[in-house]
């Protein structure tokens, strides 16, 4: 079941990434921002899929989610200044 969750979840993440990329490109968003945004969205979705698959195997993922949350907060704060240049 965990393998099915991973395969289907990864497939959905790829479809969503391509859909978002097409939407950004149709609205003529800066290519660097399109690449950055779609990659971030894809990897966040992939992490969620991996966590769901690992939890299906029976592992406790609460501490791992807390660590990932703290890391995401740190990355978000670090990138706040860099992303403000896209105004």
Express each pLDDT in 21-74 by its tens digit.
999 989 988 888 889 889 989 999 999 999 999 999 888 888 888 988 898 899
- Rounded Cα gap, residues 67 and 82, in angstroms: 23
Q: Which domains does the chain have, with CATH numbers?
A: 2-80 (1.10.287.1260)
| pLDDT for position 39 | 92
**Distance from CA of residue 49 to its chain's centroid?**
10
| pLDDT for position 77 | 85
**CA nearest neighbour of 10 among 46, 53, 54:** 46
Over range 74-78, report the average pLDDT. Answer: 85
| pLDDT for position 83 | 67
- Rounded Cα gap, residues 14 and 22, in angstroms: 12
Instruction: Kindly report the pTM of this predicted structure.
Output: 0.74
């Amino acid at each position: 079941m965990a393998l099915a969750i991973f395969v289907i979840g990864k497939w959905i993440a790829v479809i969503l990434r391509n859909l978002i990329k097409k939407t950004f490109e149709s609205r003529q968003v800066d290519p660097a921002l399109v690449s950055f945004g779609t990659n971030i969205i894809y990897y966040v979705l992939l992490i969620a899929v991996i966590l769901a698959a690992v939890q299906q195997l029976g592992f406790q993922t609460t501490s791992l989610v807390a660590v990932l949350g703290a890391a995401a907060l740190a990355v978000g704060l670090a990138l706040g200044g860099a992303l403000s240049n896209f105004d």
